[in-house]
Amino acid sequence: MSHSGASASASVAKLFTPFQLGDLTLKNRVVMAPLTRNRANKHDDAPNALNVEYYRQRAGAGLIITEATQISQQGQGYIWTPGIYRDAHVAGWKAVTDAVHAQGGVIFAQLWHVGRVSHSVLQPGNQAPVAPSALRANTKTYIESGFTEVSEPRALRLDEIPGIVADFVGAAENAKAAGFDGIELHGAHGYLLDQFLRDGANKRDDAYGGSIENRARLTLEVVDAVARVFPKERVGIRISPVSPANDARDKHPQELFDYLVGELDKRGIGFIHVVEGATREARDYLPFDYQALRKAFRGAYIANNGFTRALAIEAVEKGEADLVAFGRLFIANPDLPERLRRDAPLNTPDTATFYGGDAKGYTDYPALAAPAASPAA
């Protein structure tokens, strides 16, 4: 009997143990993935009291990465997503970070420019969305009237690109002012940085197009610029090497992302957040060696996409990931880390309430009842 306590503690899966991310101690290795929910204020895209409660409920995560947050009006692609470029946005996010910190949580802002995945009704002066090249994406966006085809974009001029970098810097400065612990750049899912990376979207013939080095230039310039606002260990990036989301395609994804991650490693940033496989589809959607990225990068590796409790525990135990991000399960289970730890039943997400709406399907999912006090051993 005397060994029961020791064996019980030894059996705690590594997934539920603390992790050191730079100078931040994460209480576990369960990450809340960015989740677009379209519930910012309808008049100014600022976070509100409902958003505060939503994130507060989920502060048991080792790390929360917020929903994608546009760095400018030009960067917005969907209705009612939050911004981080006005004073009202900073004030709204400050209430969120205060609530998460009061619960002992750690929270990073995901900074986002959608590029061509937008509609002119969301753009300043109803202009065309911007992109590396004037190629319309085969995808839809969400505006007040519902889902609709994205608008035809225009190619960014060379002299506009420094302004994009500056918008990311301004957003990082606002994230700092709002009390965020760090930032994640959205370099995935066919949005602007990903559009520049991929030969399917980027047909430029200047310094930002053609070779892999040129296509990666904007992403690396943004990384370098925001790492002057936050310590580099508090900067991460999300990538999705093979996910076809929003018409993201490249002929040689392994070569592209091997190069990018090698360059990110040189910069010493905190983490790469890798969507393995196709979003909402198979993890083995296309052949890709994710462990090559893991081995090439000395920072933390956050694995994402379709992880179950068993898969997540296994990935961390085997050293294939440092942390594992969960998306839809976090929508329905505000106390997901505790449920996973206890192997408790999980609430089922209500897909009808994912995008837009009110508290229903947002802050009304039940948490587990507190466990009864266990008798003394």
Rounded to an integer, what distance in angstroms lies between the CA atom of residue 57 and that of residue 251? 42
d(CA 220, CA 263): 8
Q: Which positions ≥6 away from 352 have C-beta within 8 Å?
A: 361
3-state helix, strand and coil shares in percent for the chain, rounded to the nearest 5: 35, 15, 50
The answer to whether 265 and 237 have CB atoms below 8 angstroms apart is no
Tokens of 125: 């002066």
Query: What amino acid occupies position 195?
Result: Q
Catalytic residue among 191, 290, 301, 362: 191
Question: Tokens 């910012």 map to which residue?
Answer: 40
Q: Is 191 a catalytic residue?
A: yes
- Answer for the pair 97, 180: CB distance below 8 angstroms, yes or no: yes
Tokens, residue 8: 């019980």
Nearest to 52 by CA among 2, 14, 105: 105
| Active site (catalytic) residues | 191
